Amino acid sequence: HSNGIEMIEPTELVGMIKNRDNIYDYMESMIKKAEKSICIMTSSDGMIRKVQHLEKAMKRVADKGVSIKILLPHNKDTEKLEKELKNVAEIKNCTDVKSRFVLIDDDKLLFFITDDKDVHPSYDVAVWIETSFFAESIKGFFEVMWKKNK
């Protein structure tokens, strides 16, 4: 056969990352590689941390035309951040679902499996998946929540 299917090892599409600093480092590398879109759903505290760690990377990709949408529970602590990111990302208030994930270009997903209020940063855990099959489901969920919230 001169043309065949390319075998993809499933273990190359999935991984687990421990420790919040390691997770944010990986998230930063994902954001820097974004070409079309970034969708983030996070907690208020999580957004504060993400801006501290990822603001420069988000600004760089936004300047290249990457669309950034963020869903988070709005409160007094996030008001200042939302104003700072006004020219970088579209941000909407979402209080009815607790979830933490980042979706890049509709096929790279990093999601946290713990609630940041219940876990010490060194025990925080996230899973990354590079597959459009599962990411499309999360994208659909994100879009429903995006349309539903202000």
- pLDDT tens digits, 92-140: 998 878 899 999 999 999 999 988 888 899 999 999 999 888 889 999 9
Residue 9 has pLDDT above 60, yes or no: no
- Whether the Cβ atoms of residue 80 and residue 91 lie closer than 8 Å to each other: no
Q: Which pLDDT belongs to residue 1?
A: 47
Residue 8 has pLDDT above 70, yes or no: no
Q: Which pLDDT belongs to residue 98?
A: 86
Residue 70 burial (CB count, 10 A): 25
| Distance (Å, whole) CA 67 – CA 39 | 8
Mind listing the pLDDT tens digit for each residue in 32-63? 999 999 999 999 888 889 888 999 999 999 99
Q: Which pLDDT belongs to residue 60?
A: 96
| Distance (Å, whole) CA 103 – CA 142 | 9
Name the residue with tokens 């099959």: 133
Strands (E), the chain: 14-18, 37-41, 67-72, 90-93, 101-104, 108-112, 125-130
End-to-end CA distance of the chain: give it in Å, rounded: 54
Output DSSP code: residue 4: -
Residue 28 has pLDDT above 50, yes or no: yes
Per DSSP, the three-state class of 84 is: helix
Mean pLDDT calculated for residue range 83-93: 90
Residue 79 has pLDDT above 70, yes or no: yes
pTM for this model (two decimals): 0.87
| Distance (Å, whole) CA 88 – CA 137 | 25
Residue 66 has pLDDT above 90, yes or no: yes
